[in-house]
Amino acid sequence: MGGIKGDVTFSQSQGQSSSEVMVNLTGVSATLKWSIRQLPMIYNGNANLSCKAGAVGDVFDPTMAKASADYETNCQSSSSSKFQSCAVGDLSTMLGDLDRNQQPTTLSDPKLMIPISGPHSVMGKALVLYDGDMPKACALIGPTQPMKTFVAVFKGPVAGFVYFRQVDENSDTFVFVDLFFVNGANSKKNFSWQINQGVVSHDASDPSSYCKNVGQTFNPKNMGDVSCNKTIHGKCAIGDMTSKHGKIEVSLATEMQSSTKAAFIDTNLPLSGDDSVQGETLLLYPSEPTQAIACAKIVRLEPKTVKVSFNGSIQDGVTGHLMFTQSSPFDATTAKIELTGLNKKAEGYHIHAYPSPPYMQLLPNESCTGLIAGDHWNPFNVDIKTSPPAGTGTDDEYEVGDLGGKYGTFLNLSSFTKTVMDFNLPMFGRNSIQGRSLVIHKQKIKDNNMRWVCSDLILEVDEGITYFMKATANIRGPAVKGVVVL
């Protein structure tokens, strides 16, 4: 992001041993401050969008170090007590800034404690690099192993998502809450929350009936003694989220990001195994669980895969496919490209805003025109004049749909095979590439970048699964005419 590539690795031996931070970055062109923030980052365009305070929160400070009256005095880069006095996320004060042309380095101190497990773990938080006061780049801190992701989707009167992420049943679980009112509420409110046994009703329009048959607190090990608290989760009922993390605040719905997002690490919340919370129900309630204001079932978030295929017999010899897979909104997208028949005719290739309308029954190449496919998919309004040469920049420096810019073009190639991780190609949410189209262009200089062949991005589903419903609205005017397909 922001032209910076590489990784930062946090390591710590088991127990309360000191930490090491290994920095291996390229593209650092100025002295940068850095800090760990309270919330995860979800790739949402460039650093000004993805890394701002409203997206990633304040400096991560799980022990409330900043509340100390003498914080400013003791948390100084020259202070001998900085490692004990500073917020966990205040890396610049504890370890110094990142220098221009930063060389690979390992930073450590016997007193440096950056937890990577337990309630105060930095897992799931955002690491942000700042040029002055402006975010330059950010990345999600996560384990090296793949994580399973589960989600509770709320629809009303509280809407939004609660995500649960875990490597395996014995590891810590990362919990991310992003909820807001959609019922005309005029103020923020705090709610208790817990996971209950049982399933929700099919009718979500009435919370009083929707949430009434969800049973008792999920507690398969019959835990819950007086020592259950925010740092000793093992003594708590698995479903007792309020005792483990406190109440959660729900904000009003706005055009911008929710102001009451929250992130937690839970050491007693298995997502697999005999005590898994999968299929159970997450409740929000003001005082009594029997008076829940909203609830949602916890389900596995399955990876999304979309595929665009080319058939040489009808698409001027171009044969093969491009396949894109994303496991969750927190993960990068894997792009796999296998194409032949390019015959040194092509150069750029882009995802465009619209698919071929099925009701128009167009021939394959008739769908490539600007009136049908539209412009490049560019939800974050990247100015292409500022994009680096193809294949040299970071993903956020190009339009979401500018695949040739991000991965390298097809110029003078007859075939192309590549697998790449793309951090700016969303498959979830309103900016998803699903259902759009991909256009391969001819050469810029020789053929004036003419649109050559195109095909739609189709969601891949398991065999035997079909769409539950498809609806078409034909609008015949007089002022407006056209079709809306759902």
What are the average pLDDT values for consecutive 10-residue runs of the chain, which has 486 residues? 95 81 94 96 91 93 92 90 94 94 89 93 97 95 95 92 95 95 81 89 62 85 86 94 94 75 96 95 87 92 95 94 97 97 96 87 82 93 94 96 96 96 95 95 88 93 66 79 76
Cβ partners under 8 Å of residue 303, min gap 6: 325, 326, 327, 328
- Tell me whether the CATH fold assigned to 5-141 matches the one assigned to 304-460: yes
**Per-residue model confidence (pLDDT) at position 7:** 96
Q: Give, in degrees to the nearest 5, the angle at Cα 369 between 412 and 431.
A: 90
Q: What's the CATH number for 5-141? A: 2.60.40.200
**Per-residue model confidence (pLDDT) at position 344:** 95
Q: What's the CATH number for 304-460? A: 2.60.40.200
Contact 92, 147 (CB under 8 A): no
Domain ranges of the chain: 5-141, 148-300, 304-460
**Per-residue model confidence (pLDDT) at position 165:** 98
Length of the chain: 486
Residue 479, amino acid? A
- Report the SS3 class of residue 444: helix
DSSP-derived pairing of the beta strands 248-252 and 173-181: parallel
| 343 dihedral zone (left: phi>0; alpha: psi -120 to 50; beta) | left
CATH architecture of 148-300: Sandwich (2.60)
Q: Give, in degrees to the nearest 5, the angle at Cα 446 between 442 and 452.
A: 15
Cα dihedral 397, 399, 402, 404, rounded to 10, equals -10
Cβ partners under 8 Å of residue 474, min gap 6: 483
**Per-residue model confidence (pLDDT) at position 274:** 93
Residue 283, amino acid? L
Give long-range contacts, CB 8 A cutoff, 24+ apart: 403-407.
403/322, 403/335, 403/349, 403/350, 403/351, 403/438, 404/347, 404/348, 404/349, 404/350, 405/348, 407/335, 407/337
